[in-house]
Structure 1
Amino acid sequence: MEKAIYVTSPLLPELGAFIPYLQQIWKSKYLTNNGPFHQAFEQALADYLGVEHLSLFNNGTTALITALQALAIDGEVITTPYSFAATAHALVWNRLTPVFVDIDPRTFNIDPKAIEAAITPRTQAILPVHCYGLPCDVEAIEQVARRHGLRVIYDAAHAFAVQDAQGSVLRHGDMSILSLHATKVFNTFEGGAIISPDARTKHHVDQLRNFGFVDEVTVETCGINGKMSEINAAFGLLQLQHIDGALVKRESIDALYRKQLMKIPGITLCCAAQNHAYFPILVEDAYPLSRDQLYDAFKQRQVFARRYFYPLISDMAAYCDRKDSRRHPLPMASHIAQRVICLPIHPDLTLTDVERVVAVIRRGALGSSSNTATASAVPDLVSEKR
């Protein structure tokens, strides 16, 4: 049995390096509720990312739910069907109606033209996703938002450390939301963050994160328990010492894949993000195997690639009967979802691992997909979570 190669693997420092942090927590007995590690990590992370007003959360989904609540959005929110389910779930948890529109064929991000065509009197906001860490067309989205008086909240779960010409992409919109889940480029086991545009908004977010408390006896709004624990925050501080090296390793793996796969007919290499969070390819008609046949061939070799993002959120059982959400055609999103597969990429991936992944694709290019029926029974073992 060959060793399993997963689509991702969490960045983990040496265990011994974490022990002193745990000893400090045990000594202080401060486990949560804006403790010293929480405060230190919140500032250190903001500094690293080049943003000013950052609020830590226990996960990215709670952060996204809270951001929508903080902006008091109601009615309809235009978003992408090509994302992880939590993007739309956060809207539904706030009793908002997600309205799905199509994506750009090159970046797989939400199409600004499709946004404008979908605006109705009930539209209150836009929720784009920086898919795979590739920045959205933020200027076009901002122009649409200004013309129609809409809020913009970016799901930036994939966009850790991504910048554009002016700085961090997290500064765009009314808010941006990060995921620090174990599957992400940078993780705190579980975690998330909201990037606010100003100190006043951050203060409001911080209150919502802690049940809405203003002081010991005053609760002004119905908040949630979204605080990050001291253990997660301490781990984040340690992770910041290693993230630069991890990003360099991801870049080298991305380059190796591109060199090995660029001339295989029927395999399209997608745009690379700065942080190389994912390595998506498209399996086109010219390739002898279908996307799902290749997916099964990977499993046969203990390579657990993932079909990010398939099915579309709009096709999931939780959304397929929501007529208000599915009233716009999604030809490009559907096309991509039927062809995409993300290859393993993480700092611990070895040259031998990459060669094994590439060998499966090369073998498929010769039309070989033996025993894929057996492989298809193997369950997916890693989820893209927030």
Structure 2
Amino acid sequence: MINVTKTFLPPQVEYQAFLKKAWDKHWLTNRGELVLELESQLKKDLRLNNLTLTANGTLPLQIAIKALSLKGEIITTPFSYVATTSSIVWEGCKPVFVDIHPKYLTIDETKIEAAISANTSAILATHVFGNPCHVEVIEAIAKKHQLKVIYDAAHCFGVNYKGESIFNYGDVSTCSFHATKLFHTGEGGCWITKSAELNKKMFYYHNFGHCGEAEFFDVGINAKMSELHAAMGLAVLPYVKKLIEERENIVNTYNAELRNLNLRTLTIREDTVWNSSYYPIILKDETILLKLIGLLKEHNINTRRYFYPSLNTLNYIDQTEMPISDDISKRVLCLPIYNGLSIPQVNIITGLIKKIVK
């Protein structure tokens, strides 16, 4: 069986060495030694000032909306994981969709201003498959219209844009450390912000609203990462560079084998150092996509229709037509990519693709 992804697990003895620190102190949650150590290491490695670990990658989106006091409408992308939209709705705001760029698959920055109304409070955009949005244009639009910017950077661990971490853009960036991600903590995530004041506010919100032992800043939620998850992150982190290099080799093989076929691959935005986190292909039409999925399944190869369906079709929002996102979501397919996937296995996959796609 070849799955679309597979969790990287560090040597068990290395994970257990970190766990022992928690065992010895009988401290499993409430921001113990391991959480603090992982935060410190991530800030150092990624050159970030403020980063706070969380229990998953969705909670930081919700907390960011809350901490930025966003109301009314939030402009967002229909081509993302459902958590991007559901976080907006969960916090009592209305998602207003803007279609995506047909080349980069990120929100089309040229269409954002037309969607701004008197009720717009923010832009929540996704760096799709680790591919950065046009952050300079979005920043200019936000500044002009006095809007906040949140980036869903769930796929972006290790991505640099114009020489710095993509996490450094926007009022808040969030990341997922789910087990399927390049860098993971089993289950987890984080937020990043350049504002120390906003970081403090979000920190209070993620700890039940505590701003002291018996004092409360506001209503809060429990979004803290446990020591057990931080231990996994500390054990995985030393391998990230090697993991990215291995994935780059897989990507290069896919690119070489699929070069002359009637399909599209992801176009990475200029000035980006990408992390090779996903390998999506865009097929001619949905009929060919379904045939390909069927053939691959016959050979015990699992793929994923990611992202599908387009989020503007969700049943709990005002549905609107997004022609490009609607179209691409029906034709996009993520191929297997994970550490441990061999080049001969990649060749088997591409060989089967060639039987369907001419």
Moved more, 179-188 or 19-28: 19-28
How far off its partner does 1:111 sit? Answer: 0.6
Q: After superposition, where does 1:208-223 map in structure 2 within 5 Å?
A: 208-223=205-220
The alpha carbon displacement at 1:360 in A equals: 1.4
Q: Which residue of 1 aligns with 2:300?
A: 302
Q: After superposition, where does 1:226-241 map in structure 2 within 5 Å?
A: 226-241=223-238
Specify the alignment match of 1:175 in structure 2.
Answer: 172
Any unmatched runs of 5+ in structure 2?
none
CA distance in 2, matches of 1:186, 1:316: 29
What are the Cα deviations for residues 48-74 of structure 1, in whole angstroms up to 9, with x where unaligned?
122110011000001111111111101
1:359 aligns with 2:351: yes
Task: Identify the match of residue 189 of structure 1 among 183, 186, 189.
Answer: 186
Identify which of 342, 357, 369 aligns with 2:334: 342
Separation of aligned partners in 1, 2:328 and 2:66: 32
The equivalent residue for 1:69 is 66
Partner of 2:266: 270
Instruction: Give 1:189's aligned amino acid.
Output: G
Q: Corresponding residue for 1:26?
A: 23
Q: Counterpart of 1:309 in structure 2: which amino acid?
A: F
**Aligned equivalents of 1:90 and 1:124: distance in 2?**
15
Q: Secondary structure at the match of 2:238?
A: coil
SS for the counterpart of 1:16 is: helix
Q: 1:124 is matched with which residue?
A: 121
Query: What runs of 5+ residues in structure 1 fail to find an aligned partner?
Result: 367-386
Deviations 1:263-311 (A, max 9, x none): 12x22222257101110111115x9x61122122211211111111111
Query: What is the TM-score normalised by the length of structure 2?
Result: 0.96
* TM-fit CA distance, 1:344: 0.6
Query: How far apart in 2 are the matches of 1:23 and 1:192?
Result: 23
Offset from partner CA, 1:5-59 (integer Å, 9 cap, x none) = 1111112111121111122211110001010111111111111122110011000
**Higher mean C-alpha deviation, range 18-27 or range 145-154:** 18-27
The one of 50, 53, 57 equivalent to 2:50 is 53
Correspondent of 2:288 among 269, 287, 290: 290
| 1:199-214 → structure 2 map (5 Å cutoff) | 199-214=196-211
| Distance in 1 between residues matched to 2:180 and 2:323, nearest whole Å | 29
Counterpart of 1:242 in 2: which secondary structure? helix
Query: Offset of 1:318 from its aligned partner?
Result: 3.1
CA distance in 2, matches of 1:18, 1:126: 39
User: How far off is 1:96 after superposition?
Assistant: 0.5
Specify the SS of the correspondent of 2:126. coil
Measured against aligned partners, the alpha-carbon deviations of 1:355-386 in whole angstroms (never above 9, x if no partner) come to: 121121011136xxxxxxxxxxxxxxxxxxxx
1:112 aligns with 2:109: yes
Alpha-carbon distance, 1:254 to partner: 0.2
The amino acid that maps onto 2:129 is Y
State the percentage of identical aligned residues.
38
Matches within 5 A, 1:137-152: 137-152=134-149
SS in 2 for 1:82: coil
SS in 1 for 2:52: strand
> Quick one: distance in 2 between partners of 1:218 and 1:101?
41
Deviations 1:306-343 (A, max 9, x none): 11111111113333xx25xx3xx411111211211111
Q: Distance in 2 between matches of 1:147 and 1:32?
A: 42
Structure 2 residue matching 1:204: 3-state secondary structure: helix
Measure, in 2, the Cα distance between the counterparts of 1:365 and 1:91: 38
Partners of 1:172 and 1:23 lie apart in 2 by: 37
- What TM-score do you get using the length of structure 1 for normalisation? 0.89
Give the distance between the partners of 1:24 and 1:220, measured in 2 at CA.
32
1:83 corresponds to which of 80, 103, 109: 80
- SS of residue paired to 2:191: strand
Q: Aligned AA for 1:338? A: K
Aligned equivalents of 2:266 and 2:151: distance in 1? 22
RMSD in angstroms over aligned alpha carbons?
A: 1.4
Decide whether the 8 Å contact of 2:18 with 2:234 is kept in 1. no
Q: Which residue of 2 aligns with 1:8?
A: 5
2:93 maps to a residue whose letter is L
Structure 2 CA distance for aligned equivalents of residues 130 and 268 of structure 1 = 18
Question: Could you tell me which residue of structure 1 aligns to residue 280 of structure 2?
Answer: 280
Equivalent positions of 1:29-48 (< 5 A) are: 29-48=26-45
Structure 1 residue ranges, 4+ long, deviating more than 3 angstroms after superposition: none
Match of 1:100 in 2: 97
| Structure 1 residue 351 displacement after superposition | 1.5
